[in-house]
Amino acid sequence: MKQGRIVLNQQARRVTALADGKLLLDNGNPLADSPQWLAPASGTVYGVALNHRSLLEQLEADFQQPPYQKAPATPVLFIKPRNTHAGHGSAIALPTQAGKVFAGGALGVVLGKVASKVAVEQALEVVAGYTVVNEISLEETSFYRPAVKAKCRDGFCPMGPWQVDAAAIDPLNVEIRSYLNGELAETHHSRDWLRSVPQLIAALSQFMTLQPGDVIIPATPLRQLEIRPGDTVAVEIAGIGRLENRLIAEESAQ
Amino acid sequence: MKHARIRLPGEADIHAVLVNDDHSVQLADGRRVAEEAVEWLPPAEGTVFALGLNYADHAAELAFKAPTEPLVFLKSPATLTGHRQVSVRPDNIIYMHYECELVVIIGKTAKNVSREQAMDYVAGYSVCNDYAVRDYLENYYRPNLRVKNRDTLTPIGPWWVDRDDVANPASLTLRTWVNGELRQQGNTRDMVFDIPYLIAYLSSFMTLSPGDMIATGTPEGLADVLPGDELIVEVEGVGRLVNHIVSEAQYADRQAQTV
């Protein structure tokens, strides 16, 4: 089943997609207009950095030098706070004076159960479903300090439109395609992730209790897809959906 | 006035309450309940920011130069707990320390706010103990979540006090007691980046919302804490936050009893 969240008369409401593509509101009524989408989940969003081999291989030599000294031993985590969460179709404001901005096509793993100290073997039992995420970030020249300024800008974590049931997706075999202005610009695959979704759920839940509605972004690829005001960026995962957003200049958003 | 969020024993509802001078809480239906008879929750709900190395003396203590730009990291609700709750020291570690901090509670939506206007966006102040497990430090997004975002390791509260009840937030004594012994003492005047600066800085690249919290860093005076220890962190004129350190096994027992 595909479920999303929309705003209707200033209220968050659930919608379901029927097989023919029509939308059904949570009260059973059909929805005719194209809605204003929200992110399908509303919990804490945890991202995993440096989990894509392309990125790790490129930085391998740097990681032996100061300030890092050695390669990371545990998942490198960050939080995308609530001001970053946005829906399908939202216009995202990019700063024009802060350097390059990159798209980050990614899977979103949505939790359905409270998860504490979950074993790898049981990890997928706590997943409710999957969504599509664009983990937008400024260019990162260092991974030493938390990347709050790069990753926590308003609207820098659009998600959706759909959350599909866990059974519909194999998280060990996911291809993520990113499109810039309608053209395929980047493809990456879960087989290139250092740690898998079950391994990440086990690692995170070792020290933090995860809640239903929390989202894990298992990996974002090497930052190559630069985005600029005026562009349209889309991220697509077969079986989940296509997340599309317009980019505008921050000045025009105010 | 002092504002808190609490639960009554055996009930699921969360109550927003006012706190009386004797630290009893006043429910909306008129009931008055003693401090010891309620479960204190984190006093606000929002994005939690924390500052690293924001007191020059503490930076020197850790052999760091004070940063030239605020060192900000984020916390998630997973790590937060309330007054009179427990914090878990992981097994098989060498060093876990407390950090007494003044917390700023945001009261109004803030974007591109100037230093001069910043205090208009403050609802009030609270106190937190921003524990860290130094064994888990790695040099990636340092301080990383395994150090700073563990279950139960960020007690915050007991309440928040209105901004106008604190005459000068830039001159407040911070103190930490371990088992009754004063172990950490400092003053908010020694912050590297003060409250108006932090609000202006954060709001220059993201929107702050009511309920967001900024834990403003800690002065020098760190020490290891062990299961059985009682920790009290206090910010003058704001509040006194009590918690106890337990082992993983003790915590598991407590969890089993409450189910």
A47 and A33 assigned to the same domain: no
In this structure, the number of other CB atoms found within 10 A of the CB of residue B143 comes to 22
Q: Which of A7-11, A75-79, B189-193, B221-225 has the lowest mean pLDDT?
A: A7-11
- Cβ <8 Å between B78 and A211: yes
Q: Measured between CB atoms, which of A77, A116, A254 is closest to B144?
A: A77
Burial of A64 (0-12, 13-18, 19+ CB in 10 A): exposed
In a domain, residue A52? The reply is yes
Q: Measured between CB atoms, which of A70, A78, A209 is closest to B78?
A: A209
Spatial CB neighbours of A64, under 8 Å, sequence gap ≥ 6: A70, A71
Tell me the pLDDT band of A156, cut-offs 50, 70 and 90.
very high
What pLDDT does residue A188 have? 94
CA distance B252 to B259: 11
A62 and A16 assigned to the same domain: no
Mean pLDDT of chain B: 95
CATH of the domain at A88: 3.90.850.10
pLDDT at A192 over 60: yes
- Cβ <8 Å between A153 and B205: yes
A20 and A34 assigned to the same domain: yes
User: Which amino acid belongs to residue A139?
Assistant: E
What phi and psi, each to the nearest 5 degrees, are found at residue B92?
Answer: 60, 40
A4 and A89 assigned to the same domain: no
Tell me the pLDDT band of A120, cut-offs 50, 70 and 90.
very high
- Which phi-psi region, left, alpha or beta, contains residue B152 (left: φ > 0; alpha: ψ -120 to 50)? left
- Cβ <8 Å between A146 and B78: no
Question: Which tens digits make up the pLDDT trace of B179-236?
Answer: 999 999 999 999 999 999 999 999 999 999 999 999 999 999 999 999 999 999 999 9
**CA separation (Å) from A103 to A130, A232, A246?**
19, 11, 12
**Domain total of chain A:** 2
**Rounded average pLDDT over B29-35:** 94
**Rounded average pLDDT over A133-144:** 95
pTM for this prediction: 0.96
A25 and A89 assigned to the same domain: no
Q: Which of A70-74, B40-44, B64-68, B152-156 has the lowest mean pLDDT?
A: B64-68
What pLDDT does residue B68 have? 86
What pLDDT does residue A223 have? 82
Q: What is the CA radius of gyration of chain A?
A: 18
User: Which amino acid belongs to residue A82?
Assistant: R
A13 and A139 assigned to the same domain: no
Strands B80-81 and B154-162: parallel
pLDDT at B24 over 60: yes
Q: Measured between CB atoms, which of A79, A144, A210 is closest to B139?
A: A144
A33 and A90 assigned to the same domain: no
How close does chain B come to A238, measured CA to CA in Å?
Answer: 31
A234 and A200 assigned to the same domain: yes
Q: Is any Cβ of chain B less than 8 angstroms from the Cβ of A147?
A: yes
- Cβ <8 Å between B151 and A144: no
CA distance A110 to A126: 9
* Three-state helix/strand/coil letters over B51-101: EECCEHHHHHHCCCCCCCCCEEEEECHHHEECCCEEEEECCCCCCEECCEE
Tell me the pLDDT band of B237, cut-offs 50, 70 and 90.
very high
ipTM higher than the 0.90 cut = yes
Q: Percent of chain B beyond pLDDT 90?
A: 91
In a domain, residue A57? The reply is yes
In a domain, residue A78? The reply is yes
In a 3-state reduction of DSSP, which class is residue A95? coil
Chain B neighbors of A116, CB-CB under 8 A: 151
**Rounded average pLDDT over B12-19:** 96
Pairs of residues, one from chain A and one from chain B, whose beta carbons lie less than 8 Å apart: 100
pLDDT at A176 over 60: yes
Question: Which tens digits make up the pLDDT trace of B63-77?
Answer: 777 778 999 999 999
In a domain, residue A33? The reply is yes
CATH for B1-41 (2.40.128.20, 2.30.30.370, 2.70.98.10, 3.20.20.10):
2.30.30.370
A27 and A46 assigned to the same domain: no
In a domain, residue A86? The reply is yes
Strands B32-33 and B25-26: antiparallel
Question: Which tens digits make up the pLDDT trace of B77-98?
Answer: 999 999 999 999 999 999 999 9
Strands B132-133 and A232-237: unpaired
Closest CA to A47 of A145, A152, A190: A152
Q: Where are the domains of chain B?
A: 1-41, 44-257
CA distance A96 to A79: 23
What pLDDT does residue B250 have? 96
Question: Which tens digits make up the pLDDT trace of B117-141?
Answer: 999 999 999 999 999 999 999 999 9
Q: Report domain B44-257's class.
A: alpha beta
**Rounded average pLDDT over A92-116:** 96
What pLDDT does residue B44 have? 97
CB B216 within 8 A of CB B58: no
How close does chain B come to A79, measured CA to CA in Å?
Answer: 7
CA distance A82 to B207: 10
**CA separation (Å) from A25 to A13, A35, A41, A50, B56?**
7, 11, 17, 39, 55
What pLDDT does residue A58 have? 85
User: Which amino acid belongs to residue B14?
Assistant: I
Burial of A51 (0-12, 13-18, 19+ CB in 10 A): buried
Spatial CB neighbours of B45, under 8 Å, sequence gap ≥ 6: B5, B77, B211
How close does chain B come to A146, measured CA to CA in Å?
Answer: 4
CA distance B128 to B147: 16
Chain B neighbors of A81, CB-CB under 8 A: 47, 74, 206
A170 and A104 assigned to the same domain: yes
Chain B neighbors of A72, CB-CB under 8 A: 138, 140
Q: Measured between CB atoms, which of B78, B90, B112 is closest to A44?
A: B78
- Cβ <8 Å between B138 and A149: no
A24 and A56 assigned to the same domain: no
Q: Which of A91-100, B86-95, B155-164 has the lowest mean pLDDT?
A: A91-100
What residue has token string 């007691």? B177
Q: Is any Cβ of chain B less than 8 angstroms from the Cβ of A207?
A: yes
Q: Percent of chain A beyond pLDDT 70?
A: 99
What pLDDT does residue B259 have? 60
Q: Which of A15-19, A201-205, B22-26 has the lowest mean pLDDT?
A: A15-19
Q: Is any Cβ of chain A less than 8 angstroms from the Cβ of B10?
A: no
Range of the domain at A162: 39-249
pLDDT at A254 over 70: no
In this structure, the number of other CB atoms found within 10 A of the CB of residue B82 comes to 22
In a domain, residue A254? The reply is no
Closest CA to A77 of B141, B80, B72: B141
